[in-house]
Structure 1
């Protein structure tokens, strides 16, 4: 029943093409209206008030879900509008799709944007806000955006281009697809963020596509308000009880979080930094700091050691063999470096995320970056064994031991003495923790002697 009601979009396209061929041959069609791939409904045009036609197509997008494609056109005034709506429920989590557009073939990828999805292209500082739903391609999004900007500026400037007589009388030629042109192209990123989880970007072949990535996230209260899932006037839910202690336990739990006012380093507005001390079993106490700016969206998370500076550094080596190893908790401090020798990946001290840094540093127009992304995608899926090395001279990083307190057969932990250069870089050579009172008294006495002599 579901397959008949929501046929795949490829099957609908083939059926529509066959109907068009038969109509072109002037052959009487015996197809009933109920069997046609789309339904037509008379609708009121909101621009001129005359009757137009709305066409509805119920179809299924492969590897995605069922959607309703709607197209309205008014023959009286020429107004037309296309929109896509979801036929299913709102997903439990939001989704973020990221696509690295490295070649012109990537411009042909299908894109479904719901009415709650936003599109970002960081390289051009372009953000397309949530609006009507669309079933299009990457090229279609770019052309629609460019055309909208051009039409708006022309309307402001009252700039009407003169049409040649040949173009007015002759046949109108559609522009060639950008994906079919043989011309250099600057790589860019398309990020589609939808808190409803009902948007989609096509991957090539399978989800192991190195240029394609998807992640889910839990919606915030504001997201749920914008989606109409909760009442904005409802009070926040009370925090769960801690250890069954009732209200006193909740109060104690809140007291563990410290708030420090500050200034956003990105936009300058006042923000708060949240700090909390957490004990990691079989490791040590750490301090987690989180900063989130509601004005510009800037976010920063840091992990600091909650105990004394370690006398030695620590190197953790893990042999990753399956998906279970990917679920291990990892804590990487700002002084830790990460290395995966199998894919020649080295993240130096202070690098907390791979993200756009690698992409922006390696855009060179060749296939090397694409090969690296393919290897990184294979590592992410644990398609083949690989090695993860965490090297932290302050021993403030942690990798979960699944066999704790017993030794992990796949993990090796080494401690080593820091070199003078490492201590110098960390500012430890000039740090004196003992006997500094005597040095301060001696320095004070030396300053008093010249004063008495004078």
Structure 2
């Protein structure tokens, strides 16, 4: 039934082309409704109030889902509008798609944006809020953005010069990606009118950038190349917040919150029992005054930790860290986990600043201090590793390194638990933790070893010069030495 009502978009395109070639006519002039992939409905034009035509195309996008593509045109005033609506239900989780646009071929990736999705291009400091649904390419998205931003620029230049200059910088950067000036140069050189090339077909240099699509409904999509192992492409799902469910119309805002499970209720009660401390400070990004929230939390079967969170409402800077709230352990700790399926990815993990992380199967080694202190899930920490490496390394000199792209593909397979792998946490201060699903019984897939720190490790941690016993006598001797010269004088 789905295949009959929502044929694949490539199949629709092929059938449309055949109908266009048949008897030198187009599908619009075909009299048999069954052969017409596009349905036409007379509609009222909201601009001139004359009758226009809305064309509906029911189709499915490979590796995504069924959609309805709508196109309206009014012959009286020339107004036209295109929109995409989802033909299925809202998904259980939201989704974030991230694509690294490194070459011009990446501009040709198919792009499906629902009415609830927001788009970010961090390199241009550009955020596109949720608006109408759209089926296009990354190049089409950029062209539409340039058109929308340019429309009110003359007025902005008069009303607010600073805003005008900021937006013009974004427009100029996006125009460099499109490289439309090359078409003008070709026309001037030959004196002939040529059809403009797509930006993906031009030879002009292009600044690499990132496209991030965040849709709480999960009904958006960016095309990958070949398979989901595409190292330039990444998808992450997340649980919607209550407010997001309200915005999507899934929850009545007047309804009370659903009761939590016992473990969640206990965890929340534990958080409520601890006081939250607020420390004023300065944002390291924009310099405005902000507050850092700090809270002491007990992790069952582990120890107390301190969670710190800093959020700047002015520039959007965010930072979250986790530090140990207990005394320094006498020995270090090494935790080894054999990950066999996706269930293991949901384990809670606390990686302190002093902890290193290894995955031998893909030759991944993170030194101490990488990512700072983090309290998340195993899937979350692997996602952070992937994003950090793909964002920072794809834009440096290693860009285009086939070996590194192969490494990212292996990392992507690991973070999806497509094959078994091993995670090793090595923390000289024993301040890291990996959830034991069988607690308080031993976990058959996890081994925990304690070891004595080396002198070099203690030196690096500053423990060799730290004295915790008998320091009162040393303080008294130091005080006497300072008093003696004063008395002699």
User: TM bucket by the smaller chain?
Assistant: 0.7 to 0.9
Indicate whether 1:387 and 2:422 are aligned: yes
Alpha-carbon distance, 1:23 to partner: 5.4
Paired residues, what number? 444
Distance in 1, Cα, partners of 2:317 & 2:131: 24
Equivalent in the alignment of 2:241: 220
Matches of residues 291-310 of structure 1 in structure 2 within 5 Å? 291-310=310-329
Identify the match of residue 262 of structure 1 among 270, 277, 280: 280
Equivalent in the alignment of 1:63: 63
Identify the match of residue 472 of structure 2 among 422, 437, 453: 437
Identify the match of residue 336 of structure 1 among 355, 358, 362: 355
Alpha-carbon distance, 1:94 to partner: 1.6
Equivalent in the alignment of 2:132: 132
Distance in 2, Cα, partners of 1:33 & 1:27: 10
Secondary structure (helix, strand or coil) at the match of 1:354 reads: helix
Do the aligned partners of residues 416 and 242 (structure 1) sit closer, same or farther apart at CA in structure 2, a change above 3 Å counting? Answer: closer
**TM-score under structure 2 length normalisation:** 0.78
List alignment gaps of at least 5 residues for structure 2: 159-183, 372-383
Could you say which structure has the higher helix fraction?
Answer: 2
Alpha-carbon distance, 1:135 to partner: 0.4
Secondary structure (helix, strand or coil) at the match of 1:146 reads: helix
**TM-score under structure 1 length normalisation:** 0.83
Do the aligned partners of residues 157 and 390 (structure 1) sit closer, same or farther apart at CA in structure 2, a change above 3 Å counting? Answer: closer
User: Would you say the 8 A contact 1:278–1:288 is kept in 2?
Assistant: no
Do the aligned partners of residues 261 and 46 (structure 1) sit closer, same or farther apart at CA in structure 2, a change above 3 Å counting? Answer: farther
User: Would you say the 8 A contact 2:246–2:252 is kept in 1?
Assistant: yes
Equivalent in the alignment of 1:357: 388
List alignment gaps of at least 5 residues for structure 1: none
Equivalent in the alignment of 1:113: 113
Equivalent in the alignment of 2:76: 76
Distance in 1, Cα, partners of 2:26 & 2:273: 79
User: Would you say the 8 A contact 2:270–2:297 is kept in 1?
Assistant: no
Secondary structure (helix, strand or coil) at the match of 1:203 reads: coil
User: Would you say the 8 A contact 2:298–2:305 is kept in 1?
Assistant: yes
Alpha-carbon distance, 1:88 to partner: 2.5
Equivalent in the alignment of 1:187: 208
Alpha-carbon distance, 1:151 to partner: 4.6
Alpha-carbon distance, 1:200 to partner: 1.0
Alpha-carbon distance, 1:237 to partner: 3.7
User: Would you say the 8 A contact 2:358–2:366 is kept in 1?
Assistant: yes
Identify the match of residue 278 of structure 1 among 298, 312, 319: 298
User: Would you say the 8 A contact 2:43–2:51 is kept in 1?
Assistant: yes
User: Would you say the 8 A contact 1:239–1:250 is kept in 2?
Assistant: no
Distance in 2, Cα, partners of 1:27 & 1:118: 35
Alpha-carbon distance, 1:309 to partner: 0.5
Alpha-carbon distance, 1:384 to partner: 4.1
Distance in 1, Cα, partners of 2:260 & 2:27: 70
User: Would you say the 8 A contact 2:100–2:233 is kept in 1?
Assistant: yes
User: Would you say the 8 A contact 2:59–2:66 is kept in 1?
Assistant: yes
Indicate whether 1:422 and 2:442 are aligned: no
Equivalent in the alignment of 1:446: 481
Secondary structure (helix, strand or coil) at the match of 1:196 reads: coil
Alpha-carbon distance, 1:117 to partner: 0.8
